[in-house]
Structure 1
Amino acid sequence: MNIIDELEWRGAINQQTDAEGIHKLVEEKSIYLYCGIDPTGDSMHIGHLLPFVMMKRFQMHGHHPVILIGGATGTIGDPSGRTTERQLQTLETVQHNVEKLTKQMNKIFNSDNAPNPLIFVNNYDWTHKINIIDFLRDYGKHFGVNSMLAKDVVASRLDKGISFTEFSYQILQSLDFHHLFKELDVQMQIGGSDQWGNITAGIDFIRKKEGPEAKAFGTTIPLLLKADGTKFGKTAGGAIWLDPEKTTPYEFFQFWLNTDDLDVIKFLKLFTFLSKEEIHDLEVKVRTEPHKRWAQKVLAFEVTKFVHGEDALDQALKISDALFNGDIKSLTADEIEIGFKNMPTFHASKESKNIVDWLVDIGLEPSKRQSREDVSNGAISINGDRVNDINADITMESSIGGRFIIVRKGKKNNNLVRLTD
């Protein structure tokens, strides 16, 4: 199947500058294509993921992905999707973010079985050499102000105002496309739907510099909305990051596992590399056995493995299984810290103490009377084991790794107790 046909079936294409030309281009040869990301932060989140999944699909079809990290454009700020000016970052911060994003991209793309290694470029490398006179003469002269004002990304900002700095962003991105076209034979750019104006500006610039027959193309992905109309990737708890230090693989896995039935097939098409037949089978299961949530389990499994790798996936599965089955003692202290990261947390000393007094001291029970009643009735579990003896003691032997004790009160009220000296 032609890669473009596959992308259309998956719902991953929004706009194409020349649908027929792109389809023919990828049939005729293995192409170089690029997608850029500005280092405005030190990690991508899942809202950034789709264009790079798309790039991975091209890589698997034998094409050559080029990832551009915007060491120069990141210091300027893309006005796309914003109503106000960005806070400018220092060069040191930008460089730190470049290094972190490069590491993330390497993990996703340069797997052992990747047919074509990922090429990394940083637009600071060629942009910082251009002085202001050359910029205005060699580049600015090719961009009409009227045309730039007509781009949606600029037009949407005119009422509230836009600085020359952000106004010039599309020139810099066009410069990037032209540079990659000349130096690496990059013929296509992929971006989010908000990048359409920047992409078409780049193609126009290439044709002005290289002639009207220059073959350069652009494709955008759709704005991804959930079935309830909200933007994908936005949660009550904040962004779901690709950096495991910001969002643990367990939390990442749980996010995908909680996908709504109305969204899960769409997400399987967009974010996994499963075949048509495999996704069709899962679609049938969503209709016939929705309570088993087979599709959500496969989605969480596949995307977590893609982003974080096999080892992190295994850990996420282990934590999920232990929490679901109540087998808390099978987890290490580090896994407890990950799995219970966002649960209610209490603190206790490492000294031995009667369970009734201990529950009151840490603040989980309001009084000794209530504490005795809950213990006697079997409402208290320590590390998954029910305790109903009011004379039992909590000791260091009760802890996991000498650091944590998990107390469940009732059927679902899990609490993390951190032990301190």
Structure 2
Amino acid sequence: MSAALVGFIRELYQSNEFIPLHAPTFAGNELKYVSETIESTFVSSVGKFVDEFERKMEGFTGTSKAVATVNGTAALHAALYMAGVKQGDYVITQALTFVATCNALYHMGAEPIFVDVAKVSLSLCPVALDNYLTENAFCNETGCFHKANKRRISAVVPMHTFGHPAELDELVAICQKWNIILVEDAAESLGSYYKGKHTGTIGELGALSFNGNKIITTGGGGMVLCRDAALGARTKHITTTAKVPHPYEFFHDEPGFNYRLPNLNAALGCAQMEVLPSFLQQKRKIAEQYQQYFANSEFNFVTEPEYAQSNYWLNALICPDLASRDQLLKVTNDSGVMTRPIWKLMHRLPMFQHALRDSLVVSEWLEGHLINLPSSPVAQHG
């Protein structure tokens, strides 16, 4: 299987060179818009492309307000801050995630509680969440609290793993039942939809990432999606140093963040938004070809949940066992085709090893079975 897979991927991408996991694709007006920004000299926090990028994202996702930030971690940090997460709070999330999810919590002085994921979505499991809260929490008119130490559980943060949407209706219902706010880590899921609604717009707030390995990139960059327009306006204020508009005076009415996305990066983002629909089409075609390739094998290609439309940001394959996973990783990477195991689970990292958690049975099983396959739009190599 391993050598044959290398041949299949090389044929898919029409390349005998190194094939990355997910490379940026520049197929439109990127150079034109970035050059325009440089020529204007407005390369930093002031310029037309920041506003335009936010408007494009509002139109694409259907959110009330989109707020551009310097990276995805900053977007998640700002979203959690606006959700009211405080120092000393618990925030429930998944151990199967990229470390940025937990880094945002750490720098707020909050602590994660790790709850298992569901096999259908690879994202936070509603059954596991409800079971954990039933066993370990109590709720009153002021919020949700942990039984053991009475610390507040202020938020639940599902991460839409590899672009596959979590079971959001169920998660929303549980959060309402337990008086907890839902914040979506949608860093990987631009272009993914849950029952026709874009990810990141169903919780109170959501966070996107435009890192170089995402479906579109601004080099670095992120976006806070705000369901409520007034909350969005305040998020914009907070992330731009809380400066009160004035022709020349500098007055800041509360502590804020300097999380503004530079105009230079936003120019790149505006161009990428113009070709995003074609990227999504190409990535679905790639996913379909992977699915067909593995259809009659002992390997299980991860497909979108039946309730969702995924962007297939990173294609994922479930191997029969750890030995076959490790062999596939070695042969492909030795052959210049980049594949990767899933992230080291968060509770295995030294800074989060003492965090509260449930059994994480599914997460730990996936850790030993799942790899990611090259997922760049074909245009990158065509």
Give the TM-score of the pair, scaled to structure 2. Answer: 0.27
The structure with the largest alpha-carbon Rg is 1
Give the TM-score of the pair, scaled to structure 1. Answer: 0.25
